Structure 1
Amino acid sequence: MTTVRDATLAVLRRQGATTLFANPGSTEISLLTDLPDDLEFVLALHEGSVVGMATGWALARQRPAVAILHTTAGLGNAVGALATAQVDRAPLVVVVGQQDRRHLAFEPFLAGQRLDELVRPHAVWVCEPVRAQDVPGAVARAWHEADLHRGPAVVIVPMDDWDAEHDGAAEAAPVRSLRTAAADPAACDAVAELLTGSRSPALVAGAGADDEQTWAALVALADRLAMPVWQEPFGARAGFPQDHPRFAGHLPAGRAGVRSSLAGHDLVLVVGAAAFRQYPFEDGALVEPGTRIVVITDDPDEALRSPAELAVVAAPAAVCAELARRVPARDAAPADVRRTRVVAPPVAGEPLRPEHVFAALAERLPRETVVVEETPSSRALLHELVPARAPLGFLSAAMGGLGFGLPAAVGVRLGSPQRPVVAVIGDGSSLYGIQALWSAAHYGVGVLVIVLSNGRYAIMDRLAGGRGSATGTPGAAPWPAFEEISISGLGTSLGCESHRVVDHGDLTTVLDKVVPTLERRTTPLVLDVAVAP
């Protein structure tokens, strides 16, 4: 007899989706027990880490990863990570367990209540198959939904469905789906006309431009039009080589900063992002009067929420490569518009600061390194000092929630074991996903984890202090520091080699030893680096 489980596993094999990330519960036992040898099971110790690792794997492989979650408890724990996967454009097939279909009406122990409503805002597609026999087709469709829409596609499956007999019914999903990548001539004509008529265009690149073909197209277009290139604020990935002479830096996240940065440009071409992502609310326009905005993205939502004169929904690589061929070249030297900063090592007795750590990394990391960031209080310094020099050279949680960095770094290295992976994480951030270190140790994942330890939520302290009072005194934060926590001790307890680094000499010594091994490492290393608050 062919069971629903047999038919579903066949779907996963057909799509090459044979790595399963999970933290199992009782509602998944019938799916996971006696898993065939050709399927790889990867255990994470918390559902947030399950989804974070799957997200990193999917972005590294550029194909959907499979995450398995346990009814309300597991899905609830993972919702924040699913929101990050959605904003980070990570294709995930998410299978959520449910209690036995035959007594759901009685609301038994572990019955999931409105699981679809719990996850729907953070998914590109959600399905609760009407019959057990529809589960394989739903999983097949979820793979295509995740791939085409680049986000989590969720299938909710009662636990007894897996053992049901499959009736051989046709799957309500194609075997293959293809996304067209050709550039529409009419769209290219419209954008080319605006660019050609522009006096001083500028380019803003977003996470949706982070692939080899789009980088090449944007470099050609920027050079042809002599445009400065900015990175979108709070982007999950780098949309342009940040060591290129035309790279101008990261746009600020407030309207005044955006206006100031783009002042003097009469046209702004935004590629692979919306125009423009903000963080603090500020009054005023996004750009100066008379500045026109054009958006090119393959994400309809990004296009339609942008206050643009023209929005083109299409593959950015194809459109921008065609634009680089069409627009007239402008005669301008490729002046280096990026402002580089020199960071001197700390003098004797001076504490380490994040910029000392980043400068040491910048001097040593290979070009192809993936830097996974989750250090809110020093993110701007990291951007300034450690440029992304290859596609997927930078990865962050664009949604803004914590707990992504550690598991994502583990997932990236699992998905792309030939690339060096360095996670740069704040100690407060690390505690949201610290259990991912066990998975790194258990599965031999050679990731370097650098935790900047200042014993507090530095970004929150800074925001509270900035509030101030009517008398001009800084605002008081009610939360305490947590300096007694030992990140290196936690790393050791979870099976990782861990070191506490307290001065610049310690830092450079260990980096000189470790960085040359990153491509071939098969064990994780945690550096607990003491930095000044």
Structure 2
Amino acid sequence: MTTIRDATFDVLRSHELTTMFGNPGSTEVALLTDLPDDLNFVLALHEGSVVSTAVGWALGNDTPALVVLHTVSGFGNAVGALTTARENRAPLVVLVGEQDRRHQAQRPFLSGELDDLAGGYPVSVQHPARPGDVPSAVARAWHSARTHRGPAVVIVPMDDWSAPADETGTVNSPRKLTRATTADPEAVAELVELVDASDSPALVVGAGSDDERTWEALAVLAERLRCPVWQEPFGSRAGFPQDHRLFAGHLPANRSRLREALAPHDAVVAVGAPFLRQYPYERGPLVEAGTRLAIVTDDADEAHRAPVDLALLAPPGSVCELLTTRVRERAEVVETPKRRQERLPVPENGRPLRPGHVLTALADRLPAEATVVEETPSSRPELHRALPARQPLGFLSAATGGLGFAMPAATGLRMARPRRPVVAVVGDGSSLYGIQSLWSAAQYGCGVLFVVLSNGRYAIMDRLSENQGGKAPWPGFDQVSVHGLARSLNCPAARVDSPDELTAALDEVVPSLPDRTEPFLLDVTVAAEAAYEP
């Protein structure tokens, strides 16, 4: 007899969903026991790490990843990571186990309200009405995740997997769905008019332009317009080569400073980026009066909420290619703001190291093709200045700002691209939200370099409290040994607190990154400071 489990496995194979990420529970045992040899299960030790590892894998492969979560408790634990997956444009198919259909009316142990648990963050939520609908629901979830670039959830009662499959074997979903990748030239005409009417345009880029096609087109477009290219505030991925002469840096997330940065420009076009989203509330407009605004995105929600004069819903790469042949070429040369920081002098006795020392040492050694995964809020401005992204997917961070993303995401990304150097730079406070992911990195041979900037406190939160004119009520945690935790999770680790120890460790590990089959954590003692720049 062909079961729903068998039929679903066939759907997974046809959609290349043969690697699943999970932390199993009893409601998934019927699905997972005796997996066929061509299906792989990757274990993470917490559901947040499950989802974030899958995000790294999905972004690295540019295809949906498969996640398996355990009923209310597992799904609930994963919600924060699922919000990050949505904001990071990561396509995920998420199977959530549920109690047996036959006694759900009695609200049995391990049951609960699943449909709305993640709010509006899933791109779709399906709760099949009968077992025979499960394979079709999984196929539709794959298309939904790929089309809308986010987590698509399918809730499956545990007894469905052993039920007989429909005799027809029909899957109510397209076997193949092809998306147009070329923009309509007529639709681009109004944007050409807006740009050509300006005397001093500027471009703003984001995660939606982080691919080779769009990078190349944007570089040509920027040269043709002789205009600066800014990275969006709080960008989760680099949308432009950040070592390009026209790259102007990262826009501030403070309205007065944002207006100051964009004041010289009478037209601002955002490409693949949420339009100038902010963090601290501040009165006043985003830009000076008279500046025309436009957005180019293939994300309808992003277009709908953009406060712009013109929103163009189309593939950014294709739009930029058309613009390079249609906008008028400018002759004047623009001056971009100075963005690289001066090298910090090493302290006389070598201690304490500052985050800038560590980031500069990394910058001196990392190859252009490296991916830097960031989760160090207090040092992020310094990281951006020291480590510009030089190739697509050169930078990755959590779009929501939630902690616990970087370590598992770096692990998943290395799984997807086993020859690409991957370095996660995290604060010690941030590391404790996803420290268990080091076990998965070690277990599955992911040669990631984890650099932990250990100041023994939540430095960014201390700085925010100081900005409020008060004192933080939370204690430090300098007694926590991050490298000790790493070793307990079978991840090789070392503690360094001097420049010589730092450079010796990096000189040994960085050259090995393309070929490494085990992770390494470098726990670096740094001064407790916070370079907070809203």
Report the TM-score, using the length of structure 2 for normalisation: 0.97
Instruction: State the Cα distance separating 1:169 from its structure 2 match.
Output: 4.3
Q: Is the 8 A contact 1:207 1:239 kept in 2?
A: yes
Equivalent-residue separation in structure 1 for 2:139 and 2:88 (angstroms): 22
Equivalent-residue separation in structure 2 for 1:384 and 1:339 (angstroms): 6
Match of 1:445 in 2: 446
Match of 1:471 in 2: none
Match of 1:241 in 2: 241
- Please give the residue correspondences for 1:242-257 in structure 2 after superposition, counting only pairs within 5 Å: 242-257=242-257
Deviations 1:376-419 (A, max 9, x none): 11111101111000100000001111000100000000011110
Match of 2:114 in 1: 115
- Higher mean C-alpha deviation, range 348-357 or range 222-231: 348-357
Q: Is the 8 A contact 1:230 1:247 kept in 2?
A: yes
- Please give the residue correspondences for 1:47-446 in structure 2 after superposition, counting only pairs within 5 Å: 47-111=47-111, 113-167=112-166, 168-333=168-333, 337-349=337-349, 350-446=351-447
Equivalent-residue separation in structure 1 for 2:282 and 2:263 (angstroms): 17
Match of 2:471 in 1: 476
Q: Is the 8 A contact 1:351 1:531 kept in 2?
A: yes
Deviations 1:181-213 (A, max 9, x none): 111112211111111111000000011100000
Q: Please identify runs of 4+ aligned residues in structure 1 that moved more than 2 A.
A: 332-339, 347-350
- The answer for unaligned runs of 5 or more in structure 1 is 469-474
Q: Is the 8 A contact 2:49 2:405 kept in 1?
A: yes
Equivalent-residue separation in structure 2 for 1:345 and 1:76 (angstroms): 47
SS in 2 for 1:110: coil
Equivalent-residue separation in structure 2 for 1:441 and 1:182 (angstroms): 42
Match of 2:532 in 1: none
SS in 2 for 1:514: helix
Structure 2 counterpart of 1:531, from 517, 526, 529: 526
Instruction: State the Cα distance separating 1:29 from its structure 2 match.
Output: 0.1
Q: Is the 8 A contact 1:245 1:337 kept in 2?
A: no
1:462 aligns with 2:463: yes
Equivalent-residue separation in structure 1 for 2:35 and 2:442 (angstroms): 22
Instruction: State the Cα distance separating 1:332 from its structure 2 match.
Output: 3.1
Instruction: State the Cα distance separating 1:461 from its structure 2 match.
Output: 0.4
Q: Is the 8 A contact 1:237 1:396 kept in 2?
A: yes
SS in 1 for 2:116: helix
Equivalent-residue separation in structure 2 for 1:85 and 1:340 (angstroms): 31
Question: Quick one: which amino acid aligns to residue 163 of structure 1?
Answer: S
SS in 1 for 2:235: coil
Deviations 1:50-98 (A, max 9, x none): 0010000000000000010000000010000000000000000000000
- Please give the residue correspondences for 1:1-20 in structure 2 after superposition, counting only pairs within 5 Å: 1-20=1-20
Question: Quick one: which amino acid aligns to residue 131 of structure 2?
Answer: A
Instruction: State the Cα distance separating 1:501 from its structure 2 match.
Output: 0.9
Structure 2 counterpart of 1:505, from 490, 500, 509: 500
Percentage identity across paired residues of the two chains: 61
Question: Quick one: which amino acid aligns to residue 358 of structure 1?
Answer: L
Instruction: State the Cα distance separating 1:335 from its structure 2 match.
Output: 5.3
Instruction: State the Cα distance separating 1:328 from its structure 2 match.
Output: 1.7
Q: Is the 8 A contact 1:55 1:85 kept in 2?
A: yes
Instruction: State the Cα distance separating 1:120 from its structure 2 match.
Output: 3.6
- Higher mean C-alpha deviation, range 387-396 or range 116-125: 116-125
Equivalent-residue separation in structure 2 for 1:510 and 1:332 (angstroms): 46
- Higher mean C-alpha deviation, range 427-436 or range 323-332: 323-332
Equivalent-residue separation in structure 1 for 2:339 and 2:353 (angstroms): 23
Question: Quick one: which amino acid aligns to residue 145 of structure 2?
Answer: A
- Higher mean C-alpha deviation, range 289-298 or range 328-337: 328-337
Q: Is the 8 A contact 1:464 1:476 kept in 2?
A: yes
Question: Quick one: which amino acid aligns to residue 326 of structure 1?
Answer: R
Equivalent-residue separation in structure 1 for 2:236 and 2:172 (angstroms): 33
Instruction: State the Cα distance separating 1:338 from its structure 2 match.
Output: 4.1
SS in 2 for 1:119: coil
1:496 aligns with 2:494: no
Instruction: State the Cα distance separating 1:339 from its structure 2 match.
Output: 2.4
Deviations 1:200-230 (A, max 9, x none): 0000001110000000111011000001000
- Please give the residue correspondences for 1:20-35 in structure 2 after superposition, counting only pairs within 5 Å: 20-35=20-35
Q: Is the 8 A contact 2:347 2:353 kept in 1?
A: no
SS in 2 for 1:54: helix
Q: Is the 8 A contact 1:369 1:393 kept in 2?
A: yes
Q: Is the 8 A contact 2:52 2:81 kept in 1?
A: yes
SS in 2 for 1:411: helix
Q: Is the 8 A contact 1:245 1:338 kept in 2?
A: no
Instruction: State the Cα distance separating 1:274 from its structure 2 match.
Output: 2.1
Q: Is the 8 A contact 2:228 2:334 kept in 1?
A: no
Deviations 1:350-375 (A, max 9, x none): 31011101111111100010100000
Instruction: State the Cα distance separating 1:179 from its structure 2 match.
Output: 1.4
Cα pair distance change 1:34/1:439, threshold 3 Å:
same
Q: Is the 8 A contact 2:228 2:336 kept in 1?
A: no
SS in 2 for 1:115: coil
Instruction: State the Cα distance separating 1:342 from its structure 2 match.
Output: 2.2
Question: Quick one: which amino acid aligns to residue 154 of structure 2?
Answer: V
Match of 1:514 in 2: 509
Q: Is the 8 A contact 2:18 2:38 kept in 1?
A: yes
Equivalent-residue separation in structure 2 for 1:152 and 1:158 (angstroms): 19
Report the TM-score, using the length of structure 1 for normalisation: 0.98
Question: Quick one: which amino acid aligns to residue 359 of structure 1?
Answer: T
- The answer for unaligned runs of 5 or more in structure 2 is 529-534
Equivalent-residue separation in structure 2 for 1:13 and 1:334 (angstroms): 52
Question: Quick one: which amino acid aligns to residue 378 of structure 1?
Answer: S
Equivalent-residue separation in structure 2 for 1:21 and 1:356 (angstroms): 36
Question: Quick one: which amino acid aligns to residue 506 of structure 1?
Answer: E
Matched length: 526
Question: Quick one: which amino acid aligns to residue 449 of structure 2?
Answer: L
Question: Quick one: which amino acid aligns to residue 355 of structure 2?
Answer: P
Deviations 1:431-479 (A, max 9, x none): 00100000011111100000110111111000001101xxxxxx11000
Equivalent-residue separation in structure 2 for 1:55 and 1:275 (angstroms): 23
Q: Is the 8 A contact 1:245 1:334 kept in 2?
A: no
Question: Quick one: which amino acid aligns to residue 475 of structure 2?
Answer: P
Instruction: State the Cα distance separating 1:345 from its structure 2 match.
Output: 4.0
Question: Quick one: which amino acid aligns to residue 497 of structure 2?
Answer: V
Equivalent-residue separation in structure 1 for 2:104 and 2:518 (angstroms): 44
Instruction: State the Cα distance separating 1:348 from its structure 2 match.
Output: 2.5
SS in 1 for 2:74: helix
- Structural RMSD (CA): 0.9
Deviations 1:481-508 (A, max 9, x none): 0000000000000001100011111111
